[in-house]
Every structure is written in structure tokens, then in C-alpha cells.
Amino acid sequence: MDAFRFAKESQGKGFSVEHHTAKVLEKSEKLNKRFHHLKLISSDYAVKRSKELDRQGKRSGRLFGLPVSVKDCLCIKGIESTAGSKILSGYLPVSTATAVKKLEEEGAVVIAKTAQDEFGFGTFSTNILEQKIPLNPFDLERSCGGSSGGSAGFTAVADFPHVSVGESTGGSIACPASFCGVVGLTPSYGRVSRHGLIDYANSLDKIGAIAKTVREAALLLELMSGKDEKDSTSLPAEAEKLSELNGTDAKKLRVGVVKEFFGAGISSGVSKVAWNAIKQLESEGARVEEVSLPLNAKFGIAAYYLIALSEASTNLARYCGMRYGVHEKLEGNFDEYFSMVRSKNFSKESKRRIILGTFARMAGFRGAYYVRAMKARTKLVEEFRKAFKSFTVLAHPTMPLVAPKFSEIEKLSPLQQYSMDLCTVPANLAGLPHISVNAGKSSGMPVGLMFSADHLHEKNVVSAAAALEAVVA
């Protein structure tokens, strides 16, 4: 049963949200023992909420009683929210992120916070100190992808109607969706309010949707979208009726197949599955042509990591053991105290990113790194603009490979890990809406196809993904 049918049933007489939620919580506990997708299960919060919903006289809301999991970096009042970091242990937000609030207004029941790489720093959900690493539903020796790995993994294994809220800075929704065979929808930058999000990189962060089907992901995004006075970067654009698109008309699609993302560095198995899927769309009437994005392919990773880490290093400055999360025994002067707290509670990867980001924007180096990366970003956006004059969507594999084994990830250098984001980073840098949808399997593991569209053209990616879903399913 999908979220649409569920909301209809749950609004009917005799449906007990409390009873349903209790069952879901029990199942989630069991699933989590095996897969570790959830950082915490918010049982008390969910039970309280479900009782409130049952008490409501008139039952309404498009997510009425629907269990929803939320990436840990989104704040929820009264539920520990740490963005997967030890340094925020014990942090209880005083308010709830706007995106989550909007879902609750539609009747959603938050059942869990999902596992993620610390602050979103990673591609495999292995940069986690606080809890066990989440495991891929198709092979327990493999990664779920990251950084919204818990959200995607749990969506794949949950055998009840459920959707998850994710977040992407450079591909953190698309990547785990691809590795776990589910749908990951990232909106245009500004479409969803970032109020209540524990930031990674403010000019890149986007809250989005992870679901089993394109329509459910579209509904979730539709409900989270809109201007919010608490986030000045949120856009006044009307929330589109994304969930009403039926995607049956492949003939309207003009698909640009990004040549570079089928070339060097992309596994042949992944390329094959992605190509086959595109061919199927073509046989349904979509117009398909190759397009080249040489600048994005060449400079995307470098520009992204310079900008993202520059922003991250300033964002993380506030975690020093005084205001949020952990407090240690105050010894020595403040400088010594701050250093002690930070060296004890940040992971090695976070420290690496703080050092890189601080260096890139330091006086004397700023011009050579941060400012140059910003200039490159403008060029990369221009390259996309040109492409969207001829195409409604661009298509390519979401990730260059299927979910790797943990033993393989361990052998990768940081730079090799960063380069895995080759295909997802460009659309994120440009703030473009994109979706990853399952295109089939290679060696038994799911392969995601990614569609991106021009700014605020979420409709195009949803239509393309729905069309693909219809032929691949």
C-alpha cells in the first residue's frame, strides 16, 4: 500500500493511528537490529502524536497517520538531533524544522531519526561515530550510500507505508537512493525552507524526499515546499502539484544524455543498465540525444569540495562545548577547552574538512581557492543553462558504481571517495532539481538513473522519473 491509499484508509472510521503506530514501532525496532538504519526510534513522541491524531474530531491531512522518518540533521523539538555527530550528543532542539512541521500539519507521525554521515560529510554513511554503520538492504556487506543512508535503507526495508525526509548538499539524497533501489528527489535550492536544518554548507543544502515510488516522493516534496519567513533563501515559488503528474507521456520528454557521465570512471555494468533504461524511454516516444558538459565533468568535484568545505568549516565553528551538545569539564583557558572538546568529539573526516575549508578561505589563499571555485561555479551554471535550452531533462547514472563493499571503501583515499560524487555534484552546485530512480540491477545490486532539470522545473524530473518507473517496474 502506498502513502496515498494509506491516507485514505487512515481517515476512515475505526482506524486507530495509535494501534497502527505501535505496530510500526515494533517492526522498526526489529528491522533496526538487523540493518541499523535508524539513529533513534522516537517511540514516546510517535505514541503521543498518534493519540492526538486519534482524538481529532475531523480526520484530514494528506499524510494522516503516516509513519515518517527524518534525517538526523533536521531538528525536531524535544528529540535529540545531532546530525550524526558526537559533538552534538544530547542536543534537544527548541523548535521543529519547517519542513517537518509542514508534514506534521498534514498528519504525519515522525517515528525515527535516520542514520547519516556526520554533518553529511560522506558518500557511504561510514563516517559515523555514534552508532553502528547502516547496512545495504540488498547485501549486508555493502554500503547504503550517503549521507542520507539511513533514510534510503529504511525506506527500502520498511514493509509498511512510509516515507523519509533526506537532505542533500552534493548528492546525499540521490546517492543512497541509487544504492538502495528507491527514489530520491532533491528540489531546487530554495524550494524547501532550511529553517531547522543543522547546516553542512548553506549555499548548497537542500531538504528533499526519499520514498519507494516517484509519486510518494513528489507528494512529500510538494508538501514541504514554499516560502518561509524563517529562511530568507526560501523562494516564493508556489508549491507545484507534483503528485498529480502521472508521467505517462514520455513523448513530451527531451532527454539529454550526458556523455561524460558514461565515460571514464563509470563502471560498465552501471553504464549498461542506465543506457538500457534510456533506450526504453526512447521507445516510449522520448526524444533522446547526447549532450556534453565538459566543464561540469572536469571541475565539478574540485569546485564543490572547495565551496562546501569552506562553508562547512565556518558552520562547525559554533560547536565548541559551550552552547550545543557535549559539555566537558572546563579546564585551562577557553582556547584549550575548545580545542580539547573539538579534538575529542569530531571524527577524523570532520577534522580533515575543517582544515581544508579553513585553508581554502584563508587570507592569502582565498583568491586561489575559494574565490576561484565560486567563479567556476558560475561557469558550470552557465553550461547547464545552455543545455536546458535544448532539453527538458538531462540523464546519466546517479553513481559511477553500484553500492561498494565496506572492505572496498576502507581502501579508498579521501580523494577517491570524493570523486565518487562525480555525477551528483554538478546539479547540486547549480541548485538544480534532480531525482534518482531505479533503472534496474547490475550484479544483483540496484542502479539509479538520475534526471536533472532547470531551476524550479521539478515537474520535469518527476515526469521523467515516473515515465521510467512505469517501464522499468
What is the closest distance, in whole angstroms, from the C-beta atom of residue 244 to ligand GLN in the complex? 29
Per CB under 6 A, the list member of 61, 65, 107, 120 interacting with ligand GLN is: 120
Binding mask 283-322 for ligand GLN (x = CB under 6 A): -------------------------x--------------
For strands 287-291 and 109-114, give the pairing: unpaired
Per CB under 6 A, the list member of 10, 164, 168, 193 interacting with ligand GLN is: 168
What is the closest distance, in whole angstroms, from the C-beta atom of residue 125 to ligand GLN in the complex? 10
Among 164-172, 269-277, 398-406, 439-447, the segment contacting ligand GLN (CB under 6 A): 164-172
Per CB under 6 A, the list member of 81, 169, 280, 310 interacting with ligand GLN is: 169
For ligand GLN, the closer CB: 133 or 308: 308
Per CB under 6 A, the list member of 6, 35, 138, 200 interacting with ligand GLN is: 200
Count other C-beta atoms under 10 Å from residue 226's C-beta: 18
Among 169-177, 243-251, 392-400, 446-454, the segment contacting ligand GLN (CB under 6 A): 169-177
Please name which of 117, 244, 152 lies closest in space to residue 436, comparing C-alpha atoms.
152
DSSP 120: G
Cβ–Cβ under 8 Å, residues 184 and 442: no
Of 399-438, binders to ligand GLN (CB under 6 A) are 421
What are 380's three cell numbers?
558550470
Q: Does the bond joining 147 to the residue before it have cis omega, within 30 degrees of 0?
A: yes
**CB neighbours of 427 closer than 8 A, spacing ≥ 6?**
186, 384, 433, 434, 450, 452
30 is catalytic: no
Cβ–Cβ under 8 Å, residues 461 and 393: yes
Please name which of 180, 204, 178 lies closest in space to residue 398, comparing C-alpha atoms.
178
How far are the Cα atoms of 252, 256, 387 from residue 391, in angstroms, in the given order? Answer: 10, 6, 6
What are 117's three cell numbers?
554521515
Cβ–Cβ under 8 Å, residues 335 and 321: no
- Check residue 170 for interaction with ligand GLN (CB under 6 A): yes
How far apart are the C-alpha atoms of 245 and 469, rounded to whole Å? 13
For ligand GLN, the closer CB: 125 or 193: 125
What is the closest distance, in whole angstroms, from the C-beta atom of residue 13 to ligand GLN in the complex? 43
168 is catalytic: no
For ligand GLN, the closer CB: 6 or 200: 200
Please, how many CA atoms are within 13 Å of residue 161, restricted to the half-sphere of its CB?
22
How far apart are the C-alpha atoms of 247 and 259, rounded to whole Å? 25
What is the closest distance, in whole angstroms, from the C-beta atom of residue 347 to ligand GLN in the complex? 12
132 is catalytic: no
Which position among 10, 69, 147, 234 bears the catalytic label?
147
Q: How many residues bind ligand GLN (CB under 6 A)?
A: 13
135 backbone dihedrals φ, ψ, rounded to 5°: -110, 145
Of 441-470, binders to ligand GLN (CB under 6 A) are none
- Check residue 223 for interaction with ligand GLN (CB under 6 A): no
- What residues are labeled active site? 71, 147, 172
List residues near ligand GLN by CB under 6 A.
120-123, 147, 168-172, 200, 308, 421
